[in-house]
Amino acid sequence: MKKFILFFLICGILVFVLTAAVLAFDANKALQGKMTWEEIVAAAKEEGEVTFYGWGGSAITNQWVDNYFGKELEERYGIKLIRVPMNIDDIINKLLAEKQAGKKVGIIDTVWINGENFKTAYQANLLWGSYAKLLPNYNKYCKPKEANIDFGFDNQGFESPYSNALFVFGYDAAKTEPFNNFDELKKFVKKNSGRFTYSAPPDFYGSAFVRQVFCATTGGYEQWLGDFNREKFEAKVQATWDYLNEIEPYLWRNGKTYPESNAKLESLFQMGEIDITMNYSFLAIQSYINQGKIPPTCKSFILDEGVLSNMNYITISGNSSHKAAALVLANLMMDPEVQISKLDPKKRGDGIGIDISLLEPKYVDKLENVDLGPATLPMDFLYKNRIFELNAKYTEAIEQGWIENVLKK
Amino acid sequence: MDRENVNYVVNITKKILKKVMLFIVFLYILSAIIPIVVWSFTRSWFWPSAFPQIWDNHAWQYVFSNVSKVPQAIANTIIIALIVMILSILISLPSARVMGLYKFKGKKIVEMLLLAPVIIPPMAVGLGLTTIFIKIGLSDTMQGVIIAHLIPTLPYVNRIISSTYETFDTRYEEQGIMLGASSFKVFINVTFPILLPGLITAALFGFVISLNEFVMTFLIGGGRIITLPVLLFGFVGGTSSFDYPIASAMTILLSIPGIIFLFATERIIKEEYFSMGF
Amino acid sequence: MNERINNIRLFLKKYAIPIGLLPIFMIVGVLFWGGLTGAILQSLGWFPAIGLREITLKYYREIFLDTDLWSSSGYTLYIAIIPTILATCISILLAIIINDLNGNMKKISNFIIKIPIMIPYLVGIYMVIVMYGQSGWIARIMASLGLIKCTSQFPEILYSNSAIGIIMVYLWKQVPFMTTIIRSNLISVGRDYEQVAQTLGANNSQIFRYVTIPLIIPGILSSSLLVFAFNFGSFETPFIVGRYYPNTLPVEAYKLYSNIDLCYRPKAMAMVILISILSTIILYYYEKSIEKFKYIKK
């Protein structure tokens, strides 16, 4: 009798260990495409949880991630989402510091990231690998040629789509008359002295504004697509600094100080200190109206020079200990239902990251039924006027140049 | 007017001026509470109105929900503050005794070394400490944050307790020993009661400094250990969607532990104790 | 057995001083000075993680040549000195006034004056923004009364070169701190001497001028020292309500540190070390100058 029990015990342990071994997530194996999606999902359930690091300064974003997305992740896959609010600079610093200290297993699994920050993380070998192609939703709803270009840089699938951003401006129709292009902006600031400003680069949004000024004052953005051309840049960029220095005395606080972030800029707009706001999300204005932060008379507007458009992504860190769960998270984020929920300005108001033309008809219907609100400009209108982000080296050069030529006067 | 009347008028004026100054100061300290409370119950409040156009309590609902991380932050903040308070007193007891009772060569230098954390900015220490803590695995942990909090706390706690020891007459202890009590009993029954006022003041300082500490938690805790100051910084610090209603609700919550502690120790700490060490 | 215990006792007695200081030195010595050493090394160019192994002074040179950092130093000193002086003067007055109060007024005053001490700086910062910003409550009340029409007509308190916003935050927090300390000094230190002076026939105003004030000066000076040290190294307040550029040294150091480009980090560390050296020098001389007043207490 005793022998039998012992035997069963040993078998049980063996089965347990073997199952664990089978289910245990072999990151390298997965990366080489040798695991099926079902195996990955099962391994993810074993892992049980995943951390998601990203900017946490928007209550409505936090609520959508925790209450909607986290719930979906838990209900569909049995994975607990741990959202950690942190600014991207601090996240990257942390990953760098961990790498410096030789930490093999870190607590950061997934990160909300794009652009220069992604490039830095990628070049510093902080990221896991080319995982995007492992995700069913990526293969279904994304065109790699478009989805992989992040600020003119091929991300090699090291990140997977999260949202699409379309840069728009906002104003209160009850108080202000907006402007149609950068020439009219010059007249606007002179007429409405102290009622316009932009956040100081290297803030993401202020940088985007200055980039648009750059394209506008140098005769268009097409010439700058492609690799970084230093001579051409230095030859033409002075027009940008001249423009920005010319409007500086007419800015908020006479340009003696700039808001250090777009959040501060939006706060100035909300509190009535300036008349124009800007945001990378074309749904932001409507979302703020829904939240009661700005009056219902506010509307979005765009400039003749075009709508700056880019994507932001999710990436998986190299020293994550929950890579399977991270894959499931990244995949779920590209689920059409999730993206449509994210689009709704009543729930969050954030652009669709996957390719709309690849959606099945039932999702297209759902999409068209989302009420974007009266303050939002229609998506196809914005898409038609899209201009794309330049190579990140231009961004660096423009940010540095702004500090040297405008901030330091 | 004769001399007496002039004096009288001068005195009355002095009295009125004093009362006015007191009033202005208290107004300055307390008046901001009103708009903050109003903001915490606001949905929409646009310029130039003196009061909100739309009221609601969504901010409070958010703040009490788990999404805001406020419940965790409150728990973390208080737990850390209590542990730091106790630890800093335990660590300071032996050193304060030494600093208060003994004279020795190099005492001045020791004094300055121990005061260094007060003089050198936390940002300076914190940045250098971050890498070290990561290497020894203390970053992002409660233990790490607690130890980091000891740095700004110990100088104050040590100074306060050591100044209590300065006026301490060791002969009481000697008498106790002569009468046959063990060292431990002497400590509990003789030393401790005499030190008590200083210990309580030191405890207050230790608790409050840790409660309000931001830079150390921000740098060492790395976003994983969330305390109320770190959380509030996220909503006031300029990189968040400046949300006045939520920031207001958080501010009010953030102030409550300190005020409760003030109430609790009001009775115990007499006014004169606050000058210990200064 | 007893002999063993006795030996231990003798050992403890003999080395009482170093043993007693051991725990605190472990924390302050190891952690604090260890942290600084790490910063010093990086500031001298020792940063293996990005391949820098050459000891160099070039970062320090960069800082000395940077005129904006000189401006930042000036700004930092300015917001360290002015609020300290203001707070000291106001606190002395307040301490005396509160001391002379009676009964309930005294109790209430005691309580209210301590409130800001228990509340974090961030709350004070937020209060100043909400009340005194150009779109703050006071401005809105004025606008509703028709006194001003748009936000730019309200004084520029926040984000300004004059740093009024920063000073207001510091005053809110530090006047209560200094008042409490000075007042408690007034009570405890003066009593005996005041009584002696009274028996010798001095009147109230004489006692105050010649006995009380000299006795509380050490307390005033050492608490103002603390306040000055804090203001010099403070981060949160200038970061949130200071002008954008150049902000105070600790803020600029942090900005450099958190720059994605790690090349800036040694420079940030150099700034941090310079800040530390600067504050140590200033405070050393400050401490020396108040030395002569301390003899009164001892």
Place of tokens 């690849």: A358
Instruction: Confirm or reject contact between A369 and chain C (CB < 8 A).
Output: no
Nearest to C175 by CA among B27, A399, A33, A95: B27
The fold of the A166-309+384-407 domain, in CATH, is D-Maltodextrin-Binding Protein; domain 2 (3.40.190)
Average pLDDT along chain B = 84
pLDDT at B103: 82
Nearest chain C Cα to A260, which residue? C244
One DSSP character per residue, C236-250 reads HHHHHHS-STT--HH
- A123 close contact with B: CB closer than 8 A: no
Report yes or no on B177 lying in a domain: yes
Residue A141 has pLDDT above 50, yes or no: yes
pLDDT at B23: 92
Q: What is the CATH number of domain A24-163+311-374?
A: 3.40.190.10
Q: How many Å lie between the alpha carbon of A368 and the closest alpha carbon of chain C?
A: 39
Asked if B14 and B85 sit in the same domain, the reply is no
All residues of chain C having their beta carbon less than 8 Å from the beta carbon of residue A176 are none
- Confidence label for B238 from pLDDT (cuts 50, 70 and 90): low
How many residue pairs from chains A and B have C-beta atoms closer than 8 A? 82
What pLDDT shows up at residue A172? 94
Confidence at residue A327, expressed as pLDDT on a 0 to 100 scale: 94
Could you say which of C243, C244, C260 has the minimum Cβ distance to residue A117?
A: C260
pLDDT tier for residue B274 given thresholds of 50, 70 and 90:
low
Q: Does pLDDT of A11 surpass 70?
A: no
Cβ-Cβ contacts under 8 Å, B224 against chain A: 84, 107
Domain boundary assignment for chain A: 24-163+311-374, 166-309+384-407
- Mutation for B interface: C126, C216, C237, C276, most B CBs within 10 A: C126
* Poorest-pLDDT segment among A124-133, A304-313, C198-207: C198-207
Q: How far apart are CA A340 and CA A366, in angstroms?
A: 8
Q: What is the pLDDT of residues A247-298, one digit of tens each?
A: 999 999 999 999 988 888 999 999 999 999 999 889 989 989 998 999 999 9
Does B63 fall in a domain?
A: no
Residue A206 has pLDDT above 80, yes or no: yes
Res C233: pLDDT: 86
**Between B39, B158, B215, which is nearest C130 by CB?**
B39
pLDDT of residue B175: 83
Q: B37 and B76 share a domain?
A: no
* Tens-digit pLDDT profile for residues A342-393: 999 888 888 899 998 899 999 999 998 898 999 999 888 888 888 888 888 8
Given a cut of 70, whether residue A54 has pLDDT beyond it is: yes
CA distance readout (Å), A28 to A44, A106, A222, B129: 15, 17, 40, 35
The alpha-carbon gap from A255 to the nearest alpha carbon of chain C, in Å, equals 10
Q: How far apart are alpha carbons B91 and C20 in whole angstroms?
A: 9
DSSP string, A173-213: TTT----SSHHHHHHHHHHSTTS---PPTTSHHHHHHHHHH
| Domain A24-163+311-374 shares a fold with domain A166-309+384-407 | yes
Token pair 């202020």 in the structure block, residue: A206
Domain around B38 = 3-58
Could you tell me if A150 lies within 8 Å of chain B, comparing CB atoms? no
What pLDDT does residue A64 have?
94
List all chains that touch chain A, counting a touch as 3 or more CB pairs closer than 8 Å.
B, C
> Which of C135, C159, C243 lies nearest to residue A272, judging by beta carbons?
C135
Please check whether residues B75 and B48 belong to one and the same domain: no
Q: Is residue B54 part of a domain?
A: yes
Spelled out in words, what is the top-level CATH class assigned to the domain C44-297? Answer: mainly alpha
Contact between residue A297 and residue A133 where contact means Cβ atoms under 8 Å apart: no
The pLDDT value recorded for residue A3 is 60
Which residues are bridge partners to A312 per DSSP?
Answer: A163
pLDDT of residue A22: 45
Confidence label for C298 from pLDDT (cuts 50, 70 and 90): very low
Q: What percent of chain B has pLDDT over 90?
A: 25
A62 touches chain B (CB under 8 A): yes
With CB atoms and an 8 Å threshold, state whether B239 touches A87. yes
Q: Between A141 and C4, whose confidence is greater?
A: A141
CA–CA distance, C90 with B28 (Å, rounded to integer):
13
Give yes or no for a contact between B140 and A101, defined as CB atoms under 8 angstroms apart.
no
Q: pTM value? A: 0.84
pLDDT of residue A227: 83
**Domain tally, chain B:** 2
C chain contacts of residue A253, beta-carbon cutoff 8 Å: 156, 159-160
Per-residue model confidence (pLDDT) at position B241: 64
Q: In terms of domains, do B45 and B165 share one?
A: no
The listed range with the strongest mean pLDDT (A97-101, A263-267, C216-220) is A263-267
If asked whether residues B140 and B238 sit together in one domain, one would say yes
What pLDDT score was predicted for residue B141? 86
The enclosing domain of B85 has a CATH number of 1.10.3720.10
Comparison of pLDDT for B241 and C167, the residue scoring more: C167
